[in-house]
Amino acid sequence: LSTLVCLVVLYVWKHRRYYYLGFKLPGQTLKHVGFLFELFLCSLETLAPNLRKYYSATRKKHSSIFKFWYAWRLIVIIVDPDIVQKIFRKHLQKDDAVYKTINFTNGPSIFHENWIAKWNNHRKIISHASFTPSALKSYVNIFHEEAYILAD
């Protein structure tokens, strides 16, 4: 038992800056320990609904950025589009464990690509092809039809 405690203390000491900065972010505190156990002990089928429930509850309190701890991992959720744009334009190595969970719950997409060169190339292709003025003009009829359906 003392060996296990020593290993945990050494791990926390080695990663103390990570935990220090993680606890400074807005988000869940010690009063959310019940949610942590619910999230940690749930199956993969119920993981996505539980995360959505936590997201909607926390989003009301913190509008642009918040965090939660999944076991010893810090997960930061960024909602502000300007901050997301700055982060996705940087060449950051992405964590495999988090992206495997996201791929399981949401399926693969451009945001979940871990290989930076491939991700950057796909992002440029999609942004240049989809958001040009001529491409956006072609979507106007579809937007009009869908808005008409929603209005009825």
What range defines the domain where residue 87 resides? Answer: 81-152
Give the model confidence (pLDDT) of 101-137 as tens digits. Answer: 666 666 666 666 666 677 777 777 777 777 778 878 8
Within a domain: 131: yes
> Rounded distance, CA 69 to CA 124, Å?
32
Within a domain: 20: no
Within a domain: 116: yes
Give the model confidence (pLDDT) of 65-105 as tens digits. Answer: 888 776 777 778 888 878 877 776 665 656 666 666 666 66
Structure tokens at 15: 């990663």
> Rounded distance, CA 146 to CA 152, Å?
10
Overall domain count for the chain? 1
Give the model confidence (pLDDT) of 5-47 as tens digits. Answer: 999 889 889 988 888 888 888 876 655 656 666 666 777 777 7
